[in-house]
Structure 1
Amino acid sequence: MLSPLLSGVSTVRHGFFTRQGGTSWARGDLNCGLAADDDPSHVDENRRRVRDHLPALALVSLTQTHSTEVVSLTAAPDWPRGRGPEGDGLVTRVPGLALGVLSADCGALLAVDPVAGVIGAAHSGWKGTAGNITRALIDAMAGQGAEPARIRLALGPMIRQASYEVGPEFPDHFRGAVADHERFFRPAARDGHFLGDIAGIIAAQAAAEGVTHFEDIGGDTYADPDRFFSARRSAHQRQPDSGRLISAIALQGDN
């Protein structure tokens, strides 16, 4: 899946990849999670397919921990199997280096400042959103010359409000994350529970940081099992490991 906003930048290639077109679990799944319960050779092949599709010289991702840590790369790292240290965001100006983030309901953010030649990617689950990893990503990009007003930021498929029931205490996690946080939670059918709009919070956070070029490409990971992995859906259905989607962006290089 592509973001029209990012596709308008000729110097980058990107993709919000679905679960289709891979080798995992004998059903053609494109699981790209290195920690998933999957044959490592299948995961490596899936990631190779993503890298070649972009195309890019290398594809890297982090050991995600639902943090707000962003790693800035000034050279292509030599990480085993492309898996780096703990963190949930990546920024670089290195051509040919694809930055990947993994998700299975959480938000995936891809970004570029086409003037500065800086790209970024972030994993924004509910904890990262509560901590405002969007701000951390924009700050890290600014550290490499980007300006918020020039940044194009796209949000990929994730669990949407209609599918995301949360408990009565959950909205309080976002009290300091966004202005008027209650507006992103509407009552659920179950008494005292809410439906949470994490995508809406991410969009509001981007706007608060001065990002005017923002796009949410849509897609509900929970409600669309043909295209997306969903950790919550797998848990509700008592299924094994859900797998991980990958979203990636790369500056054009000598590919």
Structure 2
Amino acid sequence: MSNLDVIRAQALGGVAHGFLGRRGGVSAGLHGGLNVGLGSDDDPAAVAENRRRAAEAVLPGAPLVTCFQVHGADCIRVNAPFADRPRADALVTDRPGLALGILTADCAPVLLADAEAGVVGAAHAGWKGAIGGVTDSTIAAMERLGARRDRIAAAIGPCIARPSYEVDEDFRRRFEADDPANERFFVDARDGHAQFDLEAYVVHRLALAGVRRIEALGLDTYADEARFFSYRRATHRGEPDYGRQIAIIGLA
């Protein structure tokens, strides 16, 4: 599994974690590489093997725990692997030996840790979840397990970057209605459109919540086809399906 693309963040230090790209998997065709999406049209056996490889690369021997992501803000505490995937967009735990995973294909994966308290979290921050407060929910859930937000470190993994993320004026107005200062996360594009900086907005929400150490990796899923899956890229090409990559964190 040495050919897996496991991206680490300095901010998360000695905590077991990794943002994985599409390299090193067994899927073929549109899903070529390390597709971990249970909801994709890929061969289920290939997806299962990719998920096994991903977890083993980050926290060997740990079961992979993921949720049924719905672009919301709910966060669930994990004490043991789920029998069925609950509907949520973030997971937290203080139990060693669990690999918490978040799937993305342009949305922002956020991994968080208070190493001193022994509490970690993983959040799926698409634009709906980001403005809806998924990172706030995750931080609050971590605090209930003994973390302190001024000790939490956070890293934002590969996601769609501003030059690749064109939105319409209704989208822009939604963010500016929430906070007029959000205008700084947009730049004008063609008539009636703008480009949105999802990564910078997630950084802002984390900082606003009191997280002091934040690392944004600055990797564009849309632009780097060899390394990452992208829902928007697949949509623009008229492709019938797309792969998903995974971000994993856990306590050894």
TM-score greater than 0.5 by the shorter chain: yes
Instruction: Verify: 1:93 aligned to 2:94, yes or no.
Output: yes
CA distance in 2, matches of 1:43, 1:91: 24
Instruction: Verify: 1:142 aligned to 2:143, yes or no.
Output: yes
Alignment correspondent of 1:168: 169
Instruction: Verify: 1:22 aligned to 2:22, yes or no.
Output: no
Alignment correspondent of 1:159: 160
AA at the equivalent of 1:94: R
CA distance in 1, matches of 2:16, 2:205: 25
Alignment correspondent of 1:104: 105
From the superposition, tell whether residues 177 and 61 of structure 1 become closer, same or farther in structure 2 (CA, over 3 Å): farther
Q: Deviations over 1:157-180 (max 9, x none)?
A: 100001100001111222365560
Q: CA deviation at 1:55?
A: 2.1
Alignment correspondent of 2:4: none
Alignment correspondent of 2:66: 61
Contact 1:130–1:173 (8 Å) recurs in 2: no
Q: Deviations over 1:193-237 (max 9, x none)?
A: 100011111111111111011000111001000000000000001
Alignment correspondent of 2:127: 126
From the superposition, tell whether residues 178 and 117 of structure 1 become closer, same or farther in structure 2 (CA, over 3 Å): farther
Equivalent pairs, count: 244
Contact 1:134–1:206 (8 Å) recurs in 2: yes
Alignment correspondent of 2:250: 250
Equivalent pairs: percent with the same residue? Answer: 46
Q: Deviations over 1:37-74 (max 9, x none)?
A: 1111111000100111112411110000000010012x
Alignment correspondent of 1:77: 81
From the superposition, tell whether residues 25 and 114 of structure 1 become closer, same or farther in structure 2 (CA, over 3 Å): same
Structure whose residues are more often strand by fraction = 1
Instruction: Verify: 1:42 aligned to 2:43, yes or no.
Output: no
Contact 1:119–1:141 (8 Å) recurs in 2: yes
Contact 1:131–1:177 (8 Å) recurs in 2: no
Q: CA deviation at 1:154?
A: 0.3
CA distance in 2, matches of 1:202, 1:176: 17
Q: Which moved more, 1:224-233 or 1:130-139?
A: 130-139
How does 1:203-242 map onto structure 2 within 5 Å?
A: 203-242=203-242
Contact 2:64–2:81 (8 Å) recurs in 1: no
The TM-score with structure 2 as length reference comes to: 0.93
CA distance in 2, matches of 1:153, 1:179: 25
**CA RMSD, aligned part only?**
1.4
The TM-score with structure 1 as length reference comes to: 0.92
Q: CA deviation at 1:28?
A: 4.8
3-state SS of paired residue (1:180): helix
Q: Deviations over 1:120-144 (max 9, x none)?
A: 0000001001112111111111111
From the superposition, tell whether residues 19 and 178 of structure 1 become closer, same or farther in structure 2 (CA, over 3 Å): farther
Contact 1:72–1:91 (8 Å) recurs in 2: yes
CA distance in 1, matches of 2:149, 2:199: 19
Contact 2:125–2:134 (8 Å) recurs in 1: yes
AA at the equivalent of 1:62: C
